[in-house]
Amino acid sequence: MPALHIKNTEEFKKEILEHKWIALVDFRAEWCGPCRMLGPIIEQLADKNPNVKVAKVNVDENQQLAGTFQVSSIPVVFVIKNGQVVDKIVGANPPTVYQEKITEHSK
């Protein structure tokens, strides 16, 4: 299943915060080189983890949401479990880093 592209705060609330398990949310921007490098990794994680809701949020289009999560550098990926942030990963990292966080918080 491909990653969701969250377009606004209401969609974020419905798809991510009300989700009753783990969500992985990539805050990014189109002009950001590391964000573009991370994009395919996020898509792979979405395919590999069908029980995890994986989403992307464009900070330029969703400044209010980025402010709510105090996003000060991108890319930044939040691990959200049952509507609560349980982890944050800053920068573009290898796929194993994100997979380990998914596994860790799935327990």
35 is catalytic: yes
- List the catalytic residue out of 35, 41, 46, 102: 35
- Number of Cβ atoms within 10 Å of the Cβ of 73: 10
CA distance 53 to 19: 8
32 is catalytic: yes
Phi/psi region, residue 91 (left: phi>0; alpha: psi -120 to 50; beta: rest), is left
- List the catalytic residue out of 3, 6, 25, 32: 32
Catalytic residues: 32, 35
